[in-house]
């Protein structure tokens, strides 16, 4: 605060005059000055900084006022109000009392004050900035060098009996209420500065005091202590973070070693084929080809230079490389020394690989992944995250508690309640309560079907609601998960203040950017809702029709383009004009429909352009379908201005039949380029496009008719329902005709930003936050869905960006994070068994246990388990709860059995069935992965019967093995549920991909895959292929693992047996089940078989 910002004290304006007009007064307006009276000379000394001037009152009366002002001896603040030649106006603020404080004091600013101030500010600012800004707002600079700063102090208007020492610091823009507790000063409240009557009534005193302000948030107060505690903990080999640091080191080494096994393969040709693949002709050893054939999901990279990891002369600077071509391996031909690579995204088709270079295993993705992990891990270890207690929390250390106000979870009128579609359960309410009131981390366990997605949506809605200004919530919450599909599912259920979450980033095979696709879905939904609302109105208001016609005509006549059609424009104007157009206007318009704008390309030109673009001019591509593409181009160019030589060249290409490349490929490439230039609309004769004058005149007449009718309509009516319709039509017009503007608006105002854990630290997310007015990279809230599935190293990335709260939602009883078996074995061999618990235990499970133990120490509830499922038949829900969830995590059912009724023939309406496919029908086969043909064939036939009997039902086919997925797909192809695509891949037949739920929304009709592809999904009917059928012994734990394989993993079995809504059909060899009540790792399967023997299930023989 500067002197001219002071608004308090008795204000006096005095007029002074320089005694020596020759001495310039170069003091800017607003500068603080001091006045000292010299009785002997009856003069006044005016001091500003290190300079001084002799002055006196402008008049004798004014001089007497100056003497009186200074002789009172009252503390004051004076500043230059105006300078005009030798005349100076000084404004004085006098205060009744002044104090000089000798003792230094520190005034603390905590989280509550930071949050309060951010609620008033336009942009999200750092804690350091908030502290500095508040200090500057209430602090006047020292009156002279060597003296302490000054403050304007008044009694606080909101004293409490326990805060008798409270006072208010008055400042520029902000006032601070300061209290003393535990012998320390801290800011208790922040208000906007204003000259209100209540403040003017209280005496304001001027205080000189050596007071400073300090960050007293938990981050500022405890960061040093937390750093020391965490550093000590990391010295322990059992440290959770240290274990995962070692895991990542080995993971990185393994990735580089894998790339070195294949090496960098030189290539000198890379034609593009019609299927979108680039074919590289390269120099490679038989071992390199064998390596490529053996790898699953191999990603290759083509570059003109070697990556630093494969270069002998690599340096740190070499890591800054230009963009390279990256694609997925499709196939190789060792005899021809070729490799086919498909770009990862269709959008990358225009980005060609270099003409010559090297092909190698891509390390770009790994490099980015490890960099993001390292940044987050280092910030957590150094306690440099916005939430510095994060590292100690993860290591199980005690942490200080933040002092934050408690907020009600779901008030009666809160919009967050509407998310549940009814009254939330007590546990759902508890989950929202824990999430919004946690001082650091909240953890919500959501067993199958317990509505965790709705809970997430309600939490986000409530957090936005608690923000003081709804207009300033943009990107306050990060919604994240490990996979794009999980992020998209959670984001699609999120609506805050009527707007969806904005997803940043995309799957590598996704063409449309997620920001656009999410906003586009919202836009289309809004269009449907507005159109449904407009169905209540009998017709489109005349004013709306006039605006639409006006905009259409002005654009068409003012800036036509080659795609415009006179007939289409006239038809639209006739439809909009209806009865408002005169008969002669309509007739004239209809007569002109056949007119074409000059420069408008004919449809055959467009078709010719497509055919020319498809001409093959590279050796491999031409030998693929070059003659056919040349014949097609010749047909499309029949009426085009071709020279005799050009036509002959196309004819020769069309009849080429040799297996050798033709000698005219270079000439064909030149012809292709020439034809593309020749056929462009703006180079065709008659360009640019112009609308004939008679068409313009007729359209203008139509607009005049509409204007006349609109004036008559307004003159004869007051405000009617058509005004409401007009607003709705304007909204609809914006939604339909300005999709880019809609996308930008959603981006700028959405409270929730969604991204995968890895991409939450991407440049796109940082850029997005900057565009939405965030001065810091941190998020108020970070919500992680499917948190138990996230690799702890990846989970640290979003957690390290949270400032106020972290909300982890998941279920450690379902699928865990994935480990690389080779790295796990290597780690165990090098450091021993103490690492194993930390590796296999998800960070979610670790916190689930630790936060409950922590609650017994500090009394803060941070963990809630949802206890009512709504997905499946109550009998199946009870089975899942009894077999996979211990006491304290068990759940009941919130819907009746009648909601899950079915009439599928052969099952008598029962929800559970076991289909016995005995060992005699064929044993399992395969090595590490397993398959069983007999099960696949029975499931295919039965799935076909179910889908045809109930086209509205969805079906999921689950197995634990990738080989069995392939066997199932082949069997489903035999019954026409699966078809082969152009790329040779098997996929669900078009007729069986989608169906509709009860609300008319599309849903997936048939899905086949391993259990990993099913978490978070649900289907009316689920087939579970057990696959294992053998005669191996099972006396010991090791023998059990060999006999049953993945069936011994309770997490995977839990997911596989909890995806169904109406009916679960387990298909397998009953002979594999252990005796009843015998200790077994597959007891859940035995219990399900026992359930099917009862009155609620069916036993079927295949």
167 within a domain of the structure (yes/no): yes
Q: Are residues 47 and 140 located together in one domain of the fold?
A: no
Mean pLDDT of the 966-980 span: 95
Mean pLDDT of the 823-843 span: 73
Mean pLDDT of the 516-541 span: 78
Q: Are residues 76 and 174 located together in one domain of the fold?
A: no
565 Cβ contact partners less than 8 Å away, ≥ 6 residues apart: 600
Mean pLDDT of the 195-201 span: 54
Mean pLDDT of the 784-801 span: 94
Task: At 990, list the tokens.
Answer: 């078009």
Range of the domain at 26: 3-94
**According to the model, what pLDDT value does residue 864 have?**
98
> What is the rounded distance in angstroms from the CA atom of residue 113 to the CA atom of residue 185?
14
Specify the pTM. 0.75
State how far the alpha carbon of 801 is from the alpha carbons of 116, 217, 403, 797, in Å.
20, 17, 21, 7
Q: Are residues 167 and 118 located together in one domain of the fold?
A: yes
Q: What pLDDT digit, counting tens, does each position of 24-71 carry?
A: 888 899 999 999 888 777 888 998 888 888 888 889 899 988 988 888
371 within a domain of the structure (yes/no): no
* Domain edge (last residue) among 94, 126, 152: 94
* Domain edge (last residue) among 51, 73, 94: 94
Q: Are residues 766 and 851 located together in one domain of the fold?
A: yes
Percent residues over pLDDT 70 in the chain: 87
Please, are residues 479 and 487 in contact by the beta-carbon 8 Å criterion?
Answer: yes
Question: Quick one: CA dihedral 366, 371, 376, 378, positive or negative?
Answer: positive
366 within a domain of the structure (yes/no): no
Q: Are residues 559 and 620 located together in one domain of the fold?
A: no
Task: At 533, list the tokens.
Answer: 């609302």
722 within a domain of the structure (yes/no): no
577 within a domain of the structure (yes/no): yes
Whether 793 shows a pLDDT value over 80: the answer reads yes
Question: Quick one: CA dihedral 646, 647, 648, 649, positive or negative?
Answer: positive
560 within a domain of the structure (yes/no): yes
What distance lies between CA 813 and its chain's CA centroid?
A: 26
Q: Are residues 892 and 1039 located together in one domain of the fold?
A: yes
Q: What is the CATH number of the domain that holds 265?
A: 2.40.30
Whether 167 shows a pLDDT value over 90: the answer reads no
Q: Are residues 971 and 1094 located together in one domain of the fold?
A: yes
Q: Are residues 987 and 1082 located together in one domain of the fold?
A: yes
Task: At 992, list the tokens.
Answer: 């069986």
Q: Are residues 853 and 941 located together in one domain of the fold?
A: no
The burial of 247, by beta-carbon neighbours within 10 Å (0-12 exposed, 13-18 middle, 19 or more buried), is given as buried
The burial of 127, by beta-carbon neighbours within 10 Å (0-12 exposed, 13-18 middle, 19 or more buried), is given as buried
Q: What pLDDT digit, counting tens, does each position of 454-465 carry?
A: 999 999 999 988
Q: Are residues 495 and 635 located together in one domain of the fold?
A: no
771 within a domain of the structure (yes/no): yes
State how far the alpha carbon of 965 is from the alpha carbons of 101, 301, 687, 836, 871, in Å.
80, 29, 57, 30, 25
Please, are residues 80 and 88 in contact by the beta-carbon 8 Å criterion?
Answer: yes
- Which range is least confidently modeled, 100-114, 476-490, 524-538? 524-538
Q: What is the CATH number of the domain that holds 1046?
A: 3.40.50.300
Q: Are residues 27 and 88 located together in one domain of the fold?
A: yes
* Cβ neighbours of 840 (radius 10 Å): 12
Tokens 């909204």 sit on residue? 731
DSSP category for residue 990: G
- Which range is least confidently modeled, 112-116, 924-928, 964-968? 112-116
Q: What pLDDT digit, counting tens, does each position of 646-696 carry?
A: 888 998 898 888 888 888 888 888 888 888 877 765 544 444 557 788 888
**Structure-model confidence comparison of residues 881 and 772, the more confident one:** 881
Q: What is the number of structural domains in the chain?
A: 7
Tokens 């006006």 sit on residue? 550
Nearest 5°: CA angle at 361, between 355 and 364? 90
Q: What pLDDT digit, counting tens, does each position of 618-638 carry?
A: 877 788 888 999 999 888 887
1011 Cβ contact partners less than 8 Å away, ≥ 6 residues apart: 815, 958, 959, 960, 1052, 1055, 1056
Whether 1092 shows a pLDDT value over 90: the answer reads yes
Instruction: Give the residue from 734, 685, 841 showing the smallest Cα distance to 247.
Output: 841
The burial of 297, by beta-carbon neighbours within 10 Å (0-12 exposed, 13-18 middle, 19 or more buried), is given as exposed
Q: Are residues 487 and 430 located together in one domain of the fold?
A: yes
745 within a domain of the structure (yes/no): no
* Domain edge (last residue) among 679, 706, 740: 679
Question: 3-state DSSP call for residue 192?
Answer: strand
């Amino acid at each position: 605060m500067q002197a001219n910002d002071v608004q308090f004290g008795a204000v006096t304006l005095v007029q002074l005059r320089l005694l020596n007009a020759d001495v310039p007064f170069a003091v800017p307006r607003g500068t603080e000055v001091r006045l000292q009276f010299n009785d002997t000379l009856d003069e006044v000394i005016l001091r500003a900084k290190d300079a001084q001037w002799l002055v006196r009152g402008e008049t004798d009366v004014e001089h007497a006022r100056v003497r009186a002002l200074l002789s009172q001896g009252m503390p004051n603040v004076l500043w230059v109000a105006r300078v005009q030649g030798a005349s100076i106006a000084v404004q004085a603020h006098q205060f009744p009392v002044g104090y000089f404080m000798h003792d230094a004091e520190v005034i603390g600013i905590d989280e509550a004050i930071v949050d309060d101030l951010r609620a008033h500010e336009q942009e999200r600012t750092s804690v350091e900035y908030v502290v500095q800004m508040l200090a500057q707002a209430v602090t006047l600079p020292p009156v002279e060098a060597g003296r302490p700063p000054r403050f304007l102090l008044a009694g606080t208007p909101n004293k409490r009996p326990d805060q008798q020492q409270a006072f208010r610091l008055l400042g520029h823009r902000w006032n601070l209420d300061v209290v003393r507790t535990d012998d320390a000063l801290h800011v208790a409240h922040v208000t906007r500065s204003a000259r209100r009557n209540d403040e003017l009534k209280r005496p304001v005193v001027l205080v000189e005091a050596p007071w400073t302000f300090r960050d007293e948030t938990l981050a500022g107060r405890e960061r040093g202590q937390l750093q020391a505690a965490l550093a000590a903990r990391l010295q322990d080999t059992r440290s959770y973070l240290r274990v995962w640091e070692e895991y990542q080191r080995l993971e990185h080494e393994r990735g580089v070693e894998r790339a070195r096994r294949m090496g960098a393969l030189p290539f000198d040709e890379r034609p593009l084929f019609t299927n979108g693949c680039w074919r590289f002709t390269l120099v490679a050893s038989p071992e390199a080809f064998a390596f490529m054939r053996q790898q699953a999901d191999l990603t290759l990279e083509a570059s003109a230079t070697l990556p630093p990891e494969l270069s002998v002369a690599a340096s740190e600077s070499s890591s800054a490389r230009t963009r390279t071509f990256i694609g997925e391996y499709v196939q190789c031909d060792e005899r021809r020394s070729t490799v086919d690579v498909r770009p990862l995204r269709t959008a990358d088709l225009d980005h060609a690989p270099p003409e010559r270079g090297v092909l190698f295993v891509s390390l770009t993705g790994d490099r980015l992944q490890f960099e993001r992990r390292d940044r987050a891990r280092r910030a957590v270890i150094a306690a440099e995250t916005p939430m510095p207690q994060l590292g100690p929390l993860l290591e199980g250390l005690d942490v200080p508690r933040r002092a934050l106000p408690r907020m009600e979870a779901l008030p009666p009128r809160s919009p967050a309640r509407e998310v549940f579609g009814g009254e939330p359960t007590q546990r759902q309410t508890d989950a929202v309560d824990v999430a919004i009131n946690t001082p650091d981390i909240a953890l919500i366990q959501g067993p199958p079907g317990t509505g965790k997605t709705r809970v997430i949506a309600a939490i986000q809605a409530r957090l936005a609601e608690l923000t003081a200004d709804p207009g300033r919530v943009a990107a306050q919450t990060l919604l994240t998960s490990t996979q794009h599909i999980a992020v998209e599912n959670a984001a699609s259920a999120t609506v805050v203040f009527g707007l969806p979450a904005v997803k940043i980033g995309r799957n590598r095979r996704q063409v449309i950017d997620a920001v656009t696709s999410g906003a586009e879905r919202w836009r289309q939904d809004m269009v449907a809702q507005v159109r449904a609302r407009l169905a209540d109105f009998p017709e489109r208001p005349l004013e709306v029709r006039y605006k639409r016609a006006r905009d259409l005509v002005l654009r068409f006549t003012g800036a036509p383009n080659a795609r415009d059609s006179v007939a289409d424009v006239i038809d639209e104007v006739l439809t909009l004009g209806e009865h408002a157009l005169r008969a002669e206007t309509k007739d004239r318009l209809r007569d002109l429909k056949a007119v074409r704008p000059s420069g408008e390309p004919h449809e055959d030109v467009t078709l010719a352009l497509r055919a020319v673009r498809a001409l093959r001019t590279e050796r491999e591509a031409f030998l693929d379908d070059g003659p056919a593409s040349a014949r097609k181009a010749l047909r499309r160019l029949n009426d085009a201005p071709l020279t005799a030589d050009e036509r002959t060249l196309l004819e020769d290409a069309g009849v080429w039949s040799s297996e050798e490349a033709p000698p005219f490929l270079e000439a064909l490439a030149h012809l292709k380029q020439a034809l593309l230039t020749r056929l462009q609309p703006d180079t065709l004769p008659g360009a640019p496009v112009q609308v004939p004058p008679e068409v313009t005149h007729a359209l203008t007449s139509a607009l005049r008719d509409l204007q006349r009718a609109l004036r008559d309509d307004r003159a004869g009516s007051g405000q009617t329902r058509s005004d409401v319709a007009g607003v709705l039509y304007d909204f609809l017009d914006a939604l339909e005709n300005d999709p880019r503007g809609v996308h930008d608006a959603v981006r700028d105002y959405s409270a929730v930003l969604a991204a995968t854990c890895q991409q939450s630290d991407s440049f796109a997310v940082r850029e997005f936050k900057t565009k939405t007015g965030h001065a810091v990279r941190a998020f108020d809230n970070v919500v992680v869905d499917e948190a138990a599935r996230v690799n702890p190293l990846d989970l640290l990335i979003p957690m390290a960006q949270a400032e106020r709260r972290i909300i982890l939602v998941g279920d450690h009883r379902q699928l865990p994070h994935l480990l690389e078996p080779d790295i796990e074995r290597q780690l165990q061999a090098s450091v021993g068994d103490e690492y194993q618990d930390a590796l296999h235990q998800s960070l979610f499970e670790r916190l689930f246990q630790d936060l409950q133990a922590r609650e017994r120490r500090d009394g803060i509830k941070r963990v809630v388990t949802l206890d009512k499922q709504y997905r499946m038949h109550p009998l199946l829900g009870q089975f899942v709860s009894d077999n996979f969830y211990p006491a304290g995590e068990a759940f009941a059912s919130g819907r009746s059995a009648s909601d899950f009724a079915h009439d599928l023939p052969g099952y008598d309406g029962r929800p559970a069935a076991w289909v016995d496919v005995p060992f005699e029908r064929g044993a399992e086969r395969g090595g590490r992965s397993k398959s069983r043909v007999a099960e696949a064939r029975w499931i295919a036939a039965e799935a076909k019967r179910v889908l045809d009997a109930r086209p509205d039902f969805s079906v999921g086919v689950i197995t634990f093995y990738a080989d069995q997925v392939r066997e199932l797909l082949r069997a489903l192809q035999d019954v026409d549920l699966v078809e082969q695509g152009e790329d040779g891949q098997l996929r669900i037949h078009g007729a069986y991909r989608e169906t509709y739920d009860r609300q008319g929304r599309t849903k997936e009709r048939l899905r086949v895959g391993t259990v990993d592809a099913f978490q978070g999904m649900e289907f009316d009917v689920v087939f579970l292929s057990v696959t294992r059928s053998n005669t191996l012994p099972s006396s010991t734990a090791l023998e059990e693992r060999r006999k049953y394989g993945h069936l011994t993993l309770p997490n995977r079995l839990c997911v596989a047996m909890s995806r169904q809504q109406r009916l679960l059909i387990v298909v397998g060899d009953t002979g594999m089940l252990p005796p009843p009540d015998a200790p077994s790792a597959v007891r859940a399967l035995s219990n399900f078989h026992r359930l099917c023997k009862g009155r609620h299930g069916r036993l079927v023989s295949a």
